[in-house]
Amino acid sequence: MSSLLRVAVQVSAAAVIAMLCGTAIAADPAYPSRPIRFITPYPPGGSTTGMARLVGQHLTSRWGQNVIVDNRPGGNTVIGTAIVAKSQPDGYTILLTSSAHAILSSVMKTPYDPLGDFAPVASIGIAPHVLLHPGVPANTVQELIALAKSRPGQLTFASSGSAGTSHMAGEVFNLLAGVNIRHIPYKGGGPAVIDLIGGHVQMFYSLPINIIAHVRSGKLKPVAVTGEARLTTLPQTPTFAENAIAGFDVKTWNGILAPARTSRAIVDKMSAEIGALLAMSDVKDKLEALGATTMFSTPDQFRAMIKSDIGMYQKVIRAAHITIE
């Protein structure tokens, strides 16, 4: 056998072996055979951590392997997200993140591609944003618009971080209402609420989980909620659409992504378990109590949703001239 033919045979054999090994891993019924790490790029205590624990407990119970929630905040979610993007695609390091995943790469250079470096698994839930304040002299959206127009650039709104959905909500409102309310970024929803109650910032587009207790205690006044319907936890608070601000539908989703090239068998197995979890009535009730709604998407549906969000937020970012250093 010539040396050239020998090399060709060796290469061909190696390719066949690699293909067979890949197929064996993809179809391995033993997965998972060791603990799984759920990385969330946010500080502990928020809604993303809560959802990670909810999913983790279910998978631990079903699969008999611990799911460890690992909070890796920092860099506007870049640090934790990059860890997953660079991890082995074996199903043991998973990202549980939010809509910010579809925004950040449009305002700053990230060390990963939000679609190309990940294998979407499933969405979990979605929540609207509540506009609220501690004592601004405006009880309705229209009163707030009039106040903002009389004080251009003087009023401020907090966000849980630059380029997050609470930031986008404020910028979309500015564009739709024709006002200039200045953005003040915080490192998480918790610190933003503390300064809001303290009067250091005038308003906040918050997820319901962060403010329900403060609204009930009277410390914060809700003005309106994004989305199509009122929240069951805040039934007296109208939607922006009821206040003649049509098209204001900024929401925050949470979902799970694996590193790119994770086998489809592993992705589908995890996705199916999440779908089963979200179909449970008590899980729906738990999410609803937090102001969220269960929203299960298959891997392909979730990928399409992320792609759509990237395009939508790119338009907002260009219109509002948003940048992050």
Model confidence at 7, pLDDT cuts 50, 70, 90, reads: very low
Model confidence at 128, pLDDT cuts 50, 70, 90, reads: very high
pLDDT at 29: 67
pLDDT in tens, 134-188: 999 999 999 999 999 999 999 999 998 888 899 999 999 999 999 999 999 987 7
Q: Alpha-carbon distance 1 to 141, whole Å?
A: 82
| CA proximity to 46, closest of 206, 153, 196 | 206
pLDDT at 45: 74
The DSSP call for residue 76 is T
pLDDT at 292: 85
Q: What number is the average pLDDT over the span 68-75?
A: 93
Helix runs in 29-182, H state only: 47-63, 78-85, 141-150, 165-177
Q: Is 12 a residue whose pLDDT tops 80? A: no
Model confidence at 16, pLDDT cuts 50, 70, 90, reads: very low
Model confidence at 240, pLDDT cuts 50, 70, 90, reads: very high
Model confidence at 23, pLDDT cuts 50, 70, 90, reads: very low
pLDDT at 290: 72
pLDDT in tens, 295-310: 999 999 999 999 999 9
According to DSSP, the β-strands at 67-71 and 36-40 are parallel
Please give the helix or strand (H or E) that residue 95 lies within, else none.
strand 93-98
Domain ranges of the chain: 31-126+254-320, 130-243
> HSE (CB half, 13 Å, CA atoms) of 141?
23
Which class in CATH covers the domain with range 31-126+254-320?
alpha beta
Tell me the CATH number of domain 130-243, given options 2.60.120.920, 3.40.190.10, 3.30.450.70, 3.40.50.300. 3.40.190.10
Q: Are 301 and 295 in contact (CB under 8 A)?
A: no
> What pTM, to 2 d.p., does this model score?
0.83
Q: Is 69 a residue whose pLDDT tops 90? A: yes
The percent of residues above 70 in pLDDT, for the chain, comes to: 91
Model confidence at 28, pLDDT cuts 50, 70, 90, reads: low
Q: Are 210 and 193 in contact (CB under 8 A)?
A: yes
| CA proximity to 242, closest of 142, 168, 138 | 142
Q: Is 181 helix (H, G, I), strand (E, B) or coil?
A: coil
pLDDT in tens, 243-257: 888 888 899 999 999
Model confidence at 204, pLDDT cuts 50, 70, 90, reads: very high
Q: What number is the average pLDDT over the span 88-112?
A: 95
As a whole number, the mean pLDDT across the chain is: 88
pLDDT at 325: 62
**41 contact partners, CB below 8 Å, separation of at least 6:** 72, 73, 74, 77, 78, 79, 80, 81, 95, 97
DSSP string, 15-51: HHHHHHHHHHHHT-TT---S-EEEEESS-TTSHHHHH
Q: What number is the average pLDDT over the span 207-221?
A: 91
Q: What number is the average pLDDT over the span 11-16?
A: 41
Model confidence at 71, pLDDT cuts 50, 70, 90, reads: very high
Q: Are 12 and 251 in contact (CB under 8 A)?
A: no
